[in-house]
Amino acid sequence: MSAHESRSEPVNRETTGAASSRIGLGLFWIYVVLYAGFMVLVLYRPDLLSLRPFGGVNLAIAYGMGLIAGAFLLAIVYMAACRSVEDGGPPHG
Amino acid sequence: MLYESSSTAIAIFAAFVLGVVGLSFFLGRKGQSAKGYYAAHGEIHWFVNGIAFAGDYLSAASFLGICGMIAFHGYDGFLYSIGFLAGWIVALFVIAEPIKALGKFTFADALDSRFNSRGIKLAVAISTLVVSIFYLIPQMVGAGDLIVPLLGLPHTVGVILVGVAVTLIVVTAGMVSTTWVQFIKGSLLVFFCGILAAMILNRGLVVGTGPAANLTPQVRTVTPDGTVLVDGKRQSKDHDLRPVGTIKALPARYAGQTATGPLRPLEYLSALEDSTIVTWSSKKHTDAEGTHTTYSPVERRGADLLKPGGYFKGLSTGKLADRLDFASLMLALFCGTASLPHILIRYYTVKDAAAARQSTVVGIAAIGAFYVLTLYLGLGAMTSGALDPTSTNMAAPLLAKSFSTTLFAIISAIAFTTVLGTVSGLIMAGSGAVAHDLVENVFRIPMTDHEKVRCGKIAAVGLGIIAMVLGVLFRNFNVSFLVGWAFNIAASANLPALVMLLFWPRTTKQGIVAAVTVGMLSSLAWILLSADTFEKVYGWSREASVVPFSQPGLVTIPLGFLVLVVVSLLTPKPGEAVRRHG
């Protein structure tokens, strides 16, 4: 990230900030895969979205709700992970 | 349809508006430094800020537009819900922390923090203004659409009411009061929609009876001299369009019954999938007698309504251009949230990065819960027998009316404060761009703290007036269409610069200026040249349009990144530029 400026910033803040950023980006890519997967189904396999794997609602609704719930769950994971990084001091590497 | 103004509705509505404006006067009495005006003293608690995120974000498009789209077309409105909410992932995981560490008051400050360049400030201030104005238009149009049936007043009056109320709020107390307006709005919206959803589940599915079950097509005619006819006779309270939206047949397992009774959330959806529902479509044609819109019933299986393709007809044609158009819209929604100036500005109202993170999590929870509710509200409206065939925007309030007039009045008033809150935030972002970025930083006019605040207030009034004028000019537009414009432009102009600044050290100031300018102009130009604009704005033929599909995001967002990279590589490295110019 800010490799050039790191020498002038306190080491603690830089590494926890970088760690939080890494965690965030990792979770971001996970979500991108889920979101893109949904778009691919909508665009190319809409027939699959009509399936009702849980006997009740179809995949279109289940996946959609899943994306909404998933965003919230990932956000909680992120908050917890960042807090443990900040409480536990700078991580290794 | 014609609506009677109900005195309950007016009373509740007036109480809400006066309460909100009164609250802002009260909060405004506390001192007004520039920091206080723009960033609420950096002291808003993260929970309050999180709910205020929800209040700020859930605009007329979310509430009225999505519910209406689901009510008339099925699943596709929910795609907007998903896209809007998913955008928060970009905001939280990519943007939130780095940007809090950078800026002072505005988005322009964040982008400019490393370079102190007037070019950047100018480009970003203009981009903020353009996006804010595009986002303002659908809110003002939505406000007018709410007032017409609620109070029986003309559309223009609704627009003026919003404009005046919001300008008063923003001018008296700036960011503090808008945070509280949005906190109140956010809580009320989610709470009352929750109540409505619970009532929908409690009612269960009911086979349609009464006027809504009448499946005769209806014709609404507007004659050349402006008279409105329904089925050939003059429209009046006793001769009007019939409400629509009913269930024709319940699932087989309810054979012999006319109602399912209370249902659990998932049961409701699966029962709907097995039912037969009557939706209504419209066709327009013009002849010597006027413009006729014919509303005809269409029987659909629930399973067909609850899958994508009802509104985005292009999804079933299999044509590449239609697929790209849809992908482009979903990309713009995904990238647009983090790029909206009036959302980003809210990061500066909390103490630190951890608080910013927590408030975004709270925001996602509230917004996510709301979007789940919109699916139930939209489907409940679809089968309520209370839809106005001429207006998708009124679906949610009319649904409430089918349960109780009081609930209808409350929900309508909340919808109105929905618009108040969003417009407040937008005017704040815009007035910040003008006063802080343009006047103070680009034109370098020195101002005392007090003058800065005054400048911001004058800018707010000016923006309020522009918003009112545009809201009247664009009153026949589809609200979601206009919001899509704003998201496309925001994502194309702001996101590439923001992301590259945060993650690529080789970014130069010329790169940022170029990316913001090219992103904004290319997406704007694309939209103005698209088939949708040709047809609905200029009244020309769709085929004459020069661009292959309507939503620019898929092209203009990557273009912004490309321009930034190329220009940055062609200009001196950031460190070198400083050394050279001292």
For residue B512, pLDDT over 50 is answered with yes
In chain B, residues with a C-beta closer than 8 Å to the C-beta of A76 are 361
In chain B, residues with a C-beta closer than 8 Å to the C-beta of A17 are 97-98, 101, 353
Facing residue for B372 by CB, picked from A39, A60, A65: A65
Mean pLDDT of all residues in B288-311: 89
Read off the pLDDT of residues B520-533 as tens digits, 9 standing for 90 and up.
Answer: 999 999 988 888 77
Cβ pair B70, B484 in contact under 8 A:
no
Mean pLDDT of all residues in B541-547: 82
Read off the pLDDT of residues B449-463 as tens digits, 9 standing for 90 and up.
Answer: 888 888 888 888 888
The Cα of B77 is separated from the nearest Cα of chain A by a number of Å equal to: 11
Whether the CB of A60 is below 8 Å from some CB of chain B: the reply is: yes
Strand B276-287's sheet: what is its strand order? B233-234, B228-230, B218-222, B290-301, B276-287, B246-249
Facing residue for A61 by CB, picked from B90, B306, B327: B306
- Does B281 or B112 have the greater pLDDT score? B281
Q: Which residue of A has its CA nearest to B326?
A: A43
Q: Tokens at residue B271, please? A: 């029962």
What pLDDT, on the 0 to 100 scale, is given for residue A5?
42
Q: Which of B103-117, B151-165, B207-221 has the highest mean pLDDT?
A: B207-221
Question: Do B306 and A4 lie within an 8 Å CB cutoff?
Answer: no
- Does A67 or B467 have the greater pLDDT score? A67
Q: What ipTM goes with this model?
A: 0.84
Backbone angles phi, psi at B117, to 5 degrees: -115, 130
In chain B, residues with a C-beta closer than 8 Å to the C-beta of A27 are 89, 93
Query: Which domains, from first to last, does chain B contain?
Result: 45-204+315-581 (1.20.1730.10)
Q: Which residues pair with B293 in a beta bridge?
A: B220, B284
In chain A, residues with a C-beta closer than 8 Å to the C-beta of B90 are 28
- Does B561 or B326 have the greater pLDDT score? B561
Read off the pLDDT of residues B92-110 as tens digits, 9 standing for 90 and up.
Answer: 888 877 776 776 555 666 7
- How many beta carbons lie within 10 A of that of residue B17, not counting itself? 19
Residue to test with chain B: of A68, A73, A84, A87, most B Cβ within 10 A: A68
Whether the CB of A78 is below 8 Å from some CB of chain B: the reply is: yes
Facing residue for A75 by CB, picked from B334, B361, B502: B361
Facing residue for A79 by CB, picked from B90, B361, B503: B361
In chain B, residues with a C-beta closer than 8 Å to the C-beta of A80 are none
pTM above 0.90?
no
DSSP-based three-state secondary structure for A10: coil
DSSP B300-353: EEHHHHTSTTSS-THHHH--HHHHHHHHHHHHHHHHHHHH-HHHHGGGGGSSSH
- Residue position matching structure tokens 């990309």: B331
Read off the pLDDT of residues B156-196 as tens digits, 9 standing for 90 and up.
Answer: 888 888 888 878 777 776 555 567 777 888 888 899 999 99
Whether the CB of A91 is below 8 Å from some CB of chain B: the reply is: no
Read off the pLDDT of residues B336-365 as tens digits, 9 standing for 90 and up.
Answer: 988 887 676 666 677 777 787 788 889 999
In chain B, residues with a C-beta closer than 8 Å to the C-beta of A81 are none
Mean pLDDT of all residues in B112-131: 84
Percentage of the residues of chain A whose pLDDT score is greater than 70 = 74
Question: Do B354 and A60 lie within an 8 Å CB cutoff?
Answer: no
Domain spans of chain A? 6-87
Distance CA B105, CA B107 (A): 7
pLDDT band at A4 (very low <50, low <70, confident <90, very high): very low
